[in-house]
Amino acid sequence: MGHSIFGTDGVRGEANAYPMTAEIALRLGAAVGNYFGTKSAHAKRVVIGKDTRQSGYMFENALTAGLTSAGMDVLLLGPVPTPAVGLLTPSMRADLGIMVSASHNQFRDNGIKLFGPDGFKLSDQVESEIQELLEIGFKLAPSDKIGRAQRIDDGLFRYVERAKSTFPAGMRLDGIKVVIDCANGAAYRAAPEVLWELGAEVIPIGVSPNGRNINAKCGSIYPQIAAETVIVHNADVGLCLDGDADRLIIIDEYGKVADGDQLMALLAQRWAGEDRLNGQALVTTVMSNLGLERYLNAQGISLERTKVGDRYVVERMREGGFNLGGEQSGHIVMSDYSTTGDGLMAGLQFLAEIIRTGQPASQLLGVFQPVPQLLKNVRYMLGRDPLEMHSVKQAISHAEGSLHGKGRLLIRKSGTEPLIRVMAECESDTLLHQVVDDVVRSVTEACAI
């Protein structure tokens, strides 16, 4: 099988191309069934959720075949947000949770995210052990121990009730007009329903999935349509989810888009004021804006940075006992409520702040002044590493020297796509574009060799 099939968030790739094939999914199901089944003294159980991609049916069936062949009973949730799987895995006393989704990617891609019995995503170490099972082989259950599979009809209802329970008791959203963009993804039913039940006037978009339109010019990656809808309908706020609803981008009443950094700043300072911010710290990644760090430090709140990926944020939160973290991209992790990023629950917390303060979204989303930041991506061929080429290393070294004492440079490979991400922050817009463009040019030239 060669190199590990696992990336920064489970397995991901183009559907029907390695590693996202039905054959790999079947073998992975059998391998994780072996891994978790041997650790369970009771009936072996796994829950599987998925988003709305056309290929989800194929992977759901392949995983089910592999899992049942290893003796696991499979509970099929159908289309539900990723955080619902994190919630329902321990709630249903399952040994394993699986979400079939490629998150914010287009429909051609798909992915497999794995959760342990505690509802948290698996660590690198556990994924490495599962990879080893895939390499060396695993056992199939005897014929009288093959597992069963059944549909669970109320999984979505359970998640809806949990989401509503995170909204302050006794508070209502009466008089608040909310545009909710569900990206034609997993929350297309849950999110509008929760908002409506809490009293909001709901204007839903991206709620007509057809298997191929998930994240297609909608949702958190493409918030322009939602922003226009906010203006047209004179809405108070727009909430944009991604395909599996684990991230959120917010739009104010003027159609201005705010990323996860602004929401994390708002929640961190609010929770700190209520003495409920564990460790007086926020956990985020190396991608979060330097302006966020400066603002929090001025408030007496520390910022803990991790590698990119919400599961690394969660791991640090668990290690340090912190209860708030997330990513600039919109993953907001509130461990008092959920085991992973939850776009809907984060949106509810923001709406609660509108009600509590009486302030419009535009004021609540301007917590700090961000340092100018520029991010560009360069696609490369798998099997090649342009970052190891001498010319690229030289360009990076020169860029770092130019930014010394003036900003910072971050270059990394995407864990979900064959992309080199080049990001810099600097108060000088001219210098910012110069260093990013120089590195991008060097990487592009290296990829062409």
Domain that holds residue 286: 260-364
Q: At which of 364, 392, 425 does a domain end? A: 364
Which of 55, 69, 101, 103 is labelled catalytic? 103
- Decide: helix, strand or coil at residue 441: helix
Which CATH number characterizes residue 384's domain?
3.30.310.50
Q: At which of 335, 364, 393 does a domain end? A: 364
* CA distances for 398 relative to 88, 402, 404, 442, angstroms: 50, 6, 10, 11
Q: At which of 231, 256, 281 does a domain end? A: 256
Domain count, the chain: 4
| Mean pLDDT on 380-393 | 86
Same domain, 202 and 242: yes
Same domain, 233 and 266: no
Same domain, 241 and 318: no
Name every residue whose Cβ is closer than 8 Å to that of residue 400 and which is 6 or more positions away in sequence. 409
Same domain, 293 and 316: yes
Please give the backbone phi and psi of residue 96, each rounded to the nearest 5 degrees, phi first. Answer: -160, 145
| Mean pLDDT on 28-42 | 85
Residue 120 lies in a domain: yes
Using the structure block, give the residue that is written with the tokens 């429909």: 107
Question: What integer pLDDT is reported at residue 375 of this predicted model?
Answer: 93
Same domain, 267 and 240: no
What are the tokens at 291?
Answer: 């302006």
Same domain, 83 and 188: no
Which CATH number characterizes residue 248's domain?
3.40.120.10
Residue 170 lies in a domain: no
Question: What integer pLDDT is reported at residue 41 of this predicted model?
Answer: 63
Same domain, 359 and 390: no
* CA distances for 355 relative to 167, 200, 349, 361, angstroms: 11, 11, 10, 10
Q: Is 103 part of the annotated catalytic residue set?
A: yes
Same domain, 265 and 252: no
Res. 232: pLDDT tops 90 = yes
Q: Is the pTM of this model over 0.85?
A: yes
Same domain, 247 and 267: no
Question: What integer pLDDT is reported at residue 440 of this predicted model?
Answer: 94
Question: What integer pLDDT is reported at residue 40 of this predicted model?
Answer: 64
Question: What integer pLDDT is reported at residue 7 of this predicted model?
Answer: 87
Q: How confident is the model over 295-352, as pLDDT tens digits?
A: 999 999 999 999 988 999 999 999 999 999 999 999 999 999 999 999 999 999 999 9
* Residue in 102, 77, 362 with CA at minimum distance from that of residue 237: 362
Using the structure block, give the residue that is written with the tokens 């998640």: 159
- 2: pLDDT confidence band, cut at 50, 70 and 90? low
Contact 354, 363 (CB under 8 A): no
In one-letter notation, the amino acid at residue 124 is D
Same domain, 56 and 30: yes
Average pLDDT of the chain is: 95
Res. 80: pLDDT tops 70 = yes
Question: What integer pLDDT is reported at residue 37 of this predicted model?
Answer: 82
Adjacent-strand bridge partners of 239: 180, 250
417/88: higher pLDDT: 88
